[in-house]
Structure 1
């Protein structure tokens, strides 16, 4: 029943995405087809932030429409989050029963973190988020019983799936390492830690290898730490906002109810349920590590939003540019969710002294749903598919027929297309063509520009804005120029290859240089993919064995207090 309930909630949240079209919202970009370009392999000027996500989508879009791939992964990610929360409850807190599982499912899917990351377009991060309770449950089994290799492969699968993005991998590895410290008589702590770290190392190979080969990590990311700091919501400080699973840096990527004093009421409801269950959960030795992790996941990002915290993170990134991944501090609050889910389930255990478990679950679930009413239907209709104008497939087909480096105007990385809604979106062109698209990676946040790594793209854009002739652009290695808002850019004195209402394509004829190290980076991506599929086979085997054991073994007598089955 829990998987079905999780699926229903996930579909209520993502229902608009079932319609035809493509997810195109802020950082979320989907196109009919992606290619294994240098950018998709992390070999362009930009830091490898979307690996191996872009590699996976490029492979999948050879047989399935890319828009379907991205929307399906997002829906599955939310479903896995809820189902995994129920599974974690059965493993750590079996006495909570189906009622407790239902509350855990509701809290895990229906919370501000999910809403804000949906609005920010972080679909692959939500896939990683969905893996966290499964990682915790799998490590719990390893610590408290003596399962065979299928469970080890299952752990590899969940870590690899979470590793669609570097952040998801780091979240999963942290949950695995924390859960390894729970008490148990199964596999030793060092053994569980070792397996988790080896799986994480293999899953990290794509972006570690790309960063080493392309040498694109830059200390300039330190300039954006203050802009990406967690934000206080109305009536709440930063600490309260993060404790309520909100507080994303982008004030425009929040549900309407989180922009008013209602955010305070909603946070009290969520934290009230969590606090109530924590009174029981603190006596459950298996759950304590996850509760401690939840506390750290709230306190540390809050500290990072203070003056000294911002200065410390800036200095860390300047010293080690690879740490730029930590600057969006609020995303680490996801680490609190496994502990919160267990606490929400434990609230049923507390209240059933006075109320039937089903009634308690109904009240808690209704309260959580009412605390964030606008999460339904794509966060109030804001997360919905769009349809590309006809100019886009026409222009991308011409570029793909002759894949030379592409310069784009206007120069901003984010675009506002009338046909894509009110929110800004990342330029979809780099993910639709096999050619290298020159992008600076600059971001404008609150009037402050955070510089990206694209120095070559920045020089080319200056040439275009200064009215450079064709020869100068050829010397700069530009093959095509695409103007994505023809009415806003002065007509260029270049040969026109295509002119439409939404796009104009100019043929320049310059050639770029082939990036080195493609073979090595591809090998790293195939290693990640091998871990994913080998782990999937193990996970399927583990699931089959668990169902078979449950069918032949009485389950109630096997559970003893805090121990996992």
Structure 2
């Protein structure tokens, strides 16, 4: 029977992302997977803001062994599966009275909710991996605090889950917050001081890749315009029939109104929020009596109230001032993503609903009712948001262009202008340009994002200068001195071409088909210095050692316990 919890969680996770089991690649908004990627300066976070470190490093290493598309899809499935299974493990550790029925409700709530739906449709697969680690982090710390787990098992488990959540900076910050909050739980186990030191030390080591990249890379310049525009653009959004606070409390409210299931664009969103909050509210009287769970309930409340407050006029003004003063706090702009911190508390409360309802219903019946209610009020999360999340195939020319550039990796410029693309073969939603993740060479990208007609500038100042040069239609001889080695025209995507046709008419393509054209220019730009690259690579290897060491230690401890 011990396999029923992970088995159920896996079934629910596959019901969400089933279309990705087909051959192909995940290409949807911020989610980009390619057959192969490389440990380039960009993958190490040295040429732009290190938002995707050590994620890109890990995928690059794994793609040497397994197709990169398989790696990304497997990690996404694992993230959702871990969320459901971890929620059940957390209930077993902190609310054993809920039993198996409560664990099933917690698993369903952890996977089947608007947060998962909206982040999935935004393409935040690595954030969902970090999200899936949160209940495991909470369970590991609570066991150390309350169950007297004084051996190495708890240490290795916490180190592993913090490192895995640290695929992205946001995931790491979420995991570290949950771990430190759980330190406050009362208990007769390890004392608070060593638990806090362990959580802080693990978080600091896991943060080494992006802290090092930020310190030695080329992305430390503050962009006042980007910060001023980005704060309101990325603020949480009130969904139909719900204010901002209620949207966040219902685990919805992502800034991008296009990255939501259809049911969240109508008043049906109210039904989803009411059902989810009713399940949580029903279990609160039970969970609040468990002193060890109280810190997680408090964290859930804070994770809803604070982003809602920051989305008000005064909140946006204060956040804009903070981000302009210290650009590193730009990670706070997307306020809705921090609602993930509510997951452990919500999962426990959802399980507690079974205990509350057993006065009137058998626990198994109450669990079925709660699970069905959660699923049926968000029906279009099923099967990839009713087909919005699906595996796609690259046209043949992409591999040919990548092979040509990788044989002589020089700096690449891309047209049309812009960071996002809309390819006829990749579906109607926009997607980040896949080239930067498919090439050994540095691909010039501005990082500019258009949100509701407002362009939020990225950090790519040099890329922007080359882009402006290309749009002016210069003499081809001006491109090599500007550091352009290759020019790729993605003709299947709409976008600003300016007067570039004048330049392209004077160039001879190395490769051309209906989707792509490749031109050899011959220039190049000096890359990051070897010392900075080595320092950042060492930091990434330290994170990898932490991840593998935590996993190996956990397995060894489990084997010894069974003996």
Indicate the TM-score class for this superposition, using the shorter chain for normalisation. over 0.9
Alignment CA distance shift 1:547-1:140 (3 Å): farther
Residue 537 in 1 paired to residue 552 in 2? Answer: yes
Check conservation: 2:253, 2:336, Cα contact below 8 A.
yes
Q: Deviations over 1:489-542 (max 9, x none)?
A: 453122311111100011100011021211000000000000000100122234
Partner of 1:146: 149
Partner of 1:479: 485
- Distance, in Å, in 1 between the alignment partners of 2:493 and 2:230 is 31
Alignment CA distance shift 1:486-1:137 (3 Å): closer
Partner of 1:438: 444
Check conservation: 1:233, 1:259, Cα contact below 8 A.
yes
Q: In the TM superposition, what is the alpha-carbon distance from 1:462 to its structure 2 partner?
A: 0.9
Check conservation: 1:486, 1:504, Cα contact below 8 A.
no
Q: Deviations over 1:366-424 (max 9, x none)?
A: 11111111111001110001100011001010000010000000111000000000000
- Distance, in Å, in 1 between the alignment partners of 2:44 and 2:477 is 30
Check conservation: 1:136, 1:176, Cα contact below 8 A.
yes
Partner of 1:126: 128
Partner of 1:36: 39
Q: In the TM superposition, what is the alpha-carbon distance from 1:467 to its structure 2 partner?
A: 1.1
Alignment equivalent of 1:177, drawn from 173, 176, 180: 180
- Distance, in Å, in 1 between the alignment partners of 2:170 and 2:484 is 33
- Distance, in Å, in 1 between the alignment partners of 2:10 and 2:507 is 53
Partner of 2:277: 271
Equivalent residue of 1:408, what SS? strand
Superposition pairs of residues 191-202 of structure 1, within 5 angstroms: 191-202=194-205
Q: In the TM superposition, what is the alpha-carbon distance from 1:547 to its structure 2 partner?
A: 5.7
Equivalent residue of 1:126, what SS? helix
- Distance, in Å, in 2 between the alignment partners of 1:371 and 1:106 is 13
With 524-533 and 142-151 compared, the bigger mean Cα shift is at 142-151
Check conservation: 2:423, 2:493, Cα contact below 8 A.
no
Alignment equivalent of 1:88, drawn from 66, 90, 113: 90
Alignment equivalent of 1:497, drawn from 501, 510, 514: 510
- Distance, in Å, in 2 between the alignment partners of 1:547 and 1:302 is 47
Q: Deviations over 1:94-143 (max 9, x none)?
A: 01000000000000000000000000000000000000000000000111
Alignment equivalent of 2:11, drawn from 2, 8, 11: 8
Equivalent residue of 1:287, what SS? helix
Alignment equivalent of 1:508, drawn from 517, 521, 526: 521
TM-score (norm 1): 0.95
Partner of 2:62: 60
With 314-323 and 156-165 compared, the bigger mean Cα shift is at 314-323
- Distance, in Å, in 1 between the alignment partners of 2:445 and 2:550 is 36
Alignment CA distance shift 1:347-1:544 (3 Å): farther
- Distance, in Å, in 1 between the alignment partners of 2:335 and 2:199 is 23
- Distance, in Å, in 1 between the alignment partners of 2:403 and 2:357 is 61
- Distance, in Å, in 2 between the alignment partners of 1:371 and 1:216 is 43
With 434-443 and 478-487 compared, the bigger mean Cα shift is at 478-487
Check conservation: 2:424, 2:492, Cα contact below 8 A.
no
Alignment CA distance shift 1:189-1:509 (3 Å): same
- Distance, in Å, in 2 between the alignment partners of 1:85 and 1:446 is 36
Count of residues in correspondence between the two structures: 547
- Distance, in Å, in 1 between the alignment partners of 2:561 and 2:287 is 25
Check conservation: 1:219, 1:317, Cα contact below 8 A.
no
Q: In the TM superposition, what is the alpha-carbon distance from 1:545 to its structure 2 partner?
A: 5.4
With 493-502 and 271-280 compared, the bigger mean Cα shift is at 493-502
Superposition pairs of residues 125-524 of structure 1, within 5 angstroms: 125-144=127-146, 145-220=148-223, 221-222=226-227, 223-485=229-491, 489=497, 491=501, 492=504, 493-516=506-529, 517-524=532-539
Structure 1 runs not aligned, ≥5 long:
549-565
- Distance, in Å, in 1 between the alignment partners of 2:390 and 2:205 is 35
Q: In the TM superposition, what is the alpha-carbon distance from 1:543 to its structure 2 partner?
A: 3.9
Partner of 2:543: 528
Q: In the TM superposition, what is the alpha-carbon distance from 1:486 to its structure 2 partner?
A: 6.1
Partner of 1:21: 24
Q: Deviations over 1:196-221 (max 9, x none)?
A: 01000010000000010014034324
- Distance, in Å, in 2 between the alignment partners of 1:228 and 1:131 is 24
Alignment CA distance shift 1:186-1:487 (3 Å): closer
- Distance, in Å, in 1 between the alignment partners of 2:78 and 2:481 is 47
- Distance, in Å, in 2 between the alignment partners of 1:328 and 1:104 is 26
Q: In the TM superposition, what is the alpha-carbon distance from 1:146 to its structure 2 partner?
A: 3.3
- Distance, in Å, in 1 between the alignment partners of 2:139 and 2:221 is 37
Q: Deviations over 1:249-273 (max 9, x none)?
A: 0000000111111111111100001
Equivalent residue of 2:155, what SS? helix
Alignment CA distance shift 1:211-1:487 (3 Å): closer
Check conservation: 2:419, 2:445, Cα contact below 8 A.
yes
Alignment equivalent of 1:107, drawn from 106, 109, 125: 109
Q: In the TM superposition, what is the alpha-carbon distance from 1:36 to its structure 2 partner?
A: 0.8
Structure 1 consecutive aligned stretches of length 4 or more whose deviation exceeds 6 Å: none
Q: In the TM superposition, what is the alpha-carbon distance from 1:544 to its structure 2 partner?
A: 4.1
- Distance, in Å, in 2 between the alignment partners of 1:285 and 1:351 is 21
Partner of 1:48: 50
